[in-house]
Structure formats: C-alpha cells, structure tokens
Chains A and B, each alone.
Chain A
C-alpha cells in the first residue's frame, strides 16, 4: 500500500533521510522508533508531503505522491495525521474541529458531518465534550479529539507523530487505547513512538532509525528483546533504563 523507493532528503547540507526503502501493507501497523533527530518524524511527514523529498519516490496505492501536478489537497485528505502537539484549532469546539474539513471540502452536508463527528467523538470516548473548546480539555482529551478529527476524512491510512510524547504520564493510556482500537479495526498505521508496550501489543513491525537510515526492521518481540544493530541495542537499553514506558512497573515487579 505504501512504498518508499530510495528516498533521500536533505535539510540544506544535512541529510535527513538516507536511501529509505520500505513497504507497508494494507492493515499493517508499523512503529517507527529511534533517537531524537534520527529522521523518524521526517519520514512520516514526507508521507503526506508536509516535507518534500529530493530523491526517490513514495507511492501510495500505486500513485507517486511526490510527483508534480498531484492534487495535494485531495491526496492529503486521504491521510490522517496526528501531531505530537495535537494542533487542535483553539477557536473551534471539539465538534467543529471534526466537522470543519468534511464540510469545507464538500464531503458531507453540515448535518451529516455533525452526526459523523458525534459518532467519532463517541468512539474516542468524548461525546460529552463535543461543545468544549480545546482549551477546556486535558492533553489526553485533546489528542483523542485530534484523532477523531483526522478520522473525519475517512482516511485509509493514519500517521502518528509521537502522539503521546507531549502528554502527562497518566494520560498516555487513554490515547494508546484509542490507537489500539483503531489498529484492531484494521487501520493502516505508521506510528512514531517510544511506547514499548504499545509496540509489543499492537505493531506488526518495528523500524529502527538512526541518522536518517532505517537500520533495523523486526517484529516488536525480536526488536525489544534482541536488537541486532549496535545502535539499536544502545537505544533499547536507553529507553528501558529511563523507562517512561507503561510496561516498566510490571517488569520491575517481576
């Protein structure tokens, strides 16, 4: 469904992506991890053209999405993107955040969009907050609304850029639960995250990146228990050592 072919990207003289070749199948959940600055966010941002690439091709359902002349807006509306900082529109209510794009882009009539938005908010457990403004919601609630907003365009693919990194620890669980449900419903997902518990439970595959290269691809089990590449071994040791991971207390107790 998604294919990276020899993708190279530079920020000025700095090479952010180095010869990335990856394939993601429909319904697959892929977790991308790696140290900060390794290019993992850049990788998924190239997938909806928030970042341009200088070499290579990225295909989505057989279409080259970085070709000139592509209807970027049409294409982007088919990819859900969830940001680390939520980026809800603060001047609109939770409900309006979820109806803005479908109505403005003519996909749904206002009444239909409203109904769909309420159903989506229900799905993320926030129907009762439909009329709240983002400023009135906790971080975890905002991120769940952001997921509902992305789902409102009915995208076949969802991208998550460190969706829980800006959250207080007690709110991480509610967001991961929503993502877990999505994965279970068969959504194709690319998730940049360090949540080992989530990766183990939900991911089909883990990609490990460093310095713009994908150094390792493995099942979550294999990756977290026996990382092969030295950089990956170091990384796994680091995130275990400074565990902000939900799995950590259970491990400590055992």
Chain B
C-alpha cells in the first residue's frame, strides 16, 4: 500500500474515528477533549490560583496541598487514578472521555493555578493597596484591578500550559480512548508498512494544533497590549 492509498483509505477514520456508525474518535475527539479540557481547566486554575494567594488559611492550605500533590504526580498517574479510583467512589464506571477530561482539568488546573498565583504576586503590592484604600473589597480589587493586569502578564505562560495540555490528550491512548494517537496506532497496525509516514502525519497534526493556538495567543497578546503602547511617548506637562 502506497502512502496516497493509505491516506485515501483512512483519512476519515483519522479525522472522526468510527463516527457516525460508532463513537466519535480521531482528530475530532482530540480537539473536543482539548477544548473541553481548556474550558474546565481555565476557571479551575483561576479559582485554585486565587485560593493559593487567599488571605484565609482555611482556603489556602487545602488548595496548596492539592496543587502540591497534583504537581508531584505524573499525569499518567492522575489518569489511572481517575480511571480506577473514581468508579469505586461514585459506584458507576466513568467512560474514557470523562475520565480523561477530569484528569486534564485537575492536572492542568493545578499547573494553571501556579501561573495565576505568579501573575498576581508579580504585580506591585501598591496596586492592591490602592484599590483597597479606595474602598474596594478584596474580591472587587481582585476582579477590577489585579486580575485584568495579571491575566495580561500571564498570557504567555497560560498559552504554554494550554499547548502542553493539547499534547497531554494523547495519554488517552493508555486507557483506550480513541483519540487521534490511538487511531494512528490502529491505522499503523492495519497498514503495517508505513509507520514512518503515519507517525509523521500524527506529529504534524499535533504541531498544527499547537502552532495555531500559539499564533492565536500571540495575536490576542498584541491586541491586549495595545492600551499601553503609548508608554514610550511621555507627554510633557
């Protein structure tokens, strides 16, 4: 089988798995998992990050412990933990997609939390003091003064983490989730003679996803930075 024949035979399988006869898989599932992962991990990271810098110990300590535990374990272990442990707690079997999604949300949430914490703590203390001295509450100061600035500074690190979470979806392979790496392996098993080509296509696919996100973030970064562009041209009084 030539490369073109392989592409001709398996392209749809690569893109959507057995869908619509069977469950959704392939690249579509990878993208769906990555996007849902981001949608869950971003707010989780924001909340955990706020918990990490919280002035209230009853909130700060459990969140800190969670972040340290998750950070100190490989994602693979978090996946296994979600796959084997979660059903024994909830009583019913979690499907592979939800398992992976939960693992990603917890894992990336913990990493994003540290980025959020760093972004908040990197701001001069005076910003918070100025907001509080105007009468804003703790949360008001966070929302209106601290986070708008901190998120802007955090953007490059956030994107870094999000790019890495796209790649992390490939670990779904381990628990038999038919995402794009799993499908590529299946195709390789069926075709048998073109491993180099198949895995190059797989690698290129991940690269395009990640590069696309990086570019998108770059454009966003430029747009967000716009208000401060005039910083150089100091007006005279």
Q: Is the CB of B135 closer than 8 A to any CB of chain A?
A: yes
Residue contact B133 to A48, C-beta cutoff 8 Å? yes
Q: Is the CB of A108 closer than 8 A to any CB of chain B?
A: no
When chains A and B are docked, how far (Å) is the Cα of A149 from the Cα of B136? Answer: 13
The residues of B that contact A150 with a CB separation of less than 8 Å are 133-134
Give how many B residues have a beta carbon under 8 Å from the other chain's beta carbons. 27
State the main secondary structure of chain B at its contact with A.
helix
When chains A and B are docked, how far (Å) is the Cα of A101 from the Cα of B131? Answer: 8
Residue contact A133 to B132, C-beta cutoff 8 Å? no
Residue contact A76 to B133, C-beta cutoff 8 Å? yes
The residues of B that contact A81 with a CB separation of less than 8 Å are 129-130, 133
Picked from B124, B134, B137, B230, the residue with its CB within 8 Å of the CB of A133 is B230
Q: List residues 12-44 of chain B with CB under 8 A from any CB of chain A.
A: none
Residue contact B136 to A101, C-beta cutoff 8 Å? yes
Q: Is the CB of A225 closer than 8 A to any CB of chain B?
A: no
B130-149 toward A: CB 8 Å interface, digit per residue (1/0)? 11111111001000110011
Task: Sample 21 A-B pairs with CB under 8 A, ordered by A number.
Answer: A73-B136, A76-B133, A76-B134, A76-B135, A81-B130, A83-B129, A85-B126, A88-B130, A89-B145, A91-B149, A91-B152, A100-B144, A100-B145, A101-B136, A104-B144, A132-B235, A138-B234, A138-B235, A138-B237, A153-B134, A174-B237
Known A-B contacts: A90-B149, A138-B235, A153-B135. Give 17 more (CB < 8 A): A50-B132, A76-B134, A78-B135, A79-B133, A83-B129, A83-B130, A87-B126, A87-B129, A90-B228, A91-B148, A100-B144, A104-B144, A105-B135, A135-B228, A136-B230, A136-B235, A138-B234
A residues at B contact (CB < 8 Å): 48, 50, 73-74, 76-79, 81, 83, 85, 87-91, 100-101, 104-105, 129, 132-133, 135-138, 140-141, 146, 149-150, 153, 171, 174
